[in-house]
């Protein structure tokens, strides 16, 4: 749980910086599970904070969708309807826990829709 929330905090700080830079020219950007999933796949491969920051800058729309999905994860955790895995690989990329968790959340949404 600590790794998840530490990564959420760090990612949100990077997003806050990027939103501040784009604020005056930021167009209305739609969010979707598809763009959140695509972004999570990209951020999972980022080995460092700097590479994740570049990923945010290159795919801002995807990063915004990712943040919306993060909010959904947090809401489900608070409701007791979503459990984080207790074991993670020893070696992982910078936002591995966060990216995997968002992917699991999006997968759960698809399963609910299919049911």
80 three-class SS: coil
* 98 in Cβ contact with 77 (< 8 Å): no
Q: What is the mean pLDDT of residues 11-26?
A: 92
**pLDDT tens-place string over residues 59-81:** 999 999 999 999 999 999 999 88
Confidence grade of residue 86 (pLDDT, cut at 50, 70, 90)? confident
pLDDT at 90: 80
In the predicted structure, residue 84 carries a pLDDT above the cut 80: no
pLDDT at 115: 67
Helices 2-22 and 49-58, interaxial angle, to 10°? 50
What is the Cα 73 distance to its own chain's centre? 9
Task: List the alpha helices (DSSP H) in 23-95.
Answer: 33-44, 49-58, 60-79
Instruction: State the Cα–Cα distance between residues 56 and 10, nearest whole angstrom.
Output: 13
Tokens of 36: 């959140």
Torsion of CA 53, 96, 111, 73, to 10 degrees: -70
């Amino acid at each position: 749980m600590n790794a998840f929330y530490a990564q959420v905090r760090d990612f949100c700080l990077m997003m806050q910086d990027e939103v501040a830079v784009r604020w005056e020219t930021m167009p209305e950007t739609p969010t979707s599970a598809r763009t959140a999933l695509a972004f999570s796949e990209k951020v999972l491969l980022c080995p460092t904070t700097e590479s994740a920051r570049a990923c945010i800058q290159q795919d801002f729309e995807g990063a915004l969708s990712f943040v919306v999905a993060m909010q959904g994860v947090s809401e489900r955790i608070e409701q007791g309807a979503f459990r984080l895995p207790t074991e993670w690989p020893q070696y992982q990329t910078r936002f591995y826990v966060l990216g995997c968790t968002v992917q699991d959340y999006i997968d759960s949404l698809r399963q609910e829709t299919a049911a």
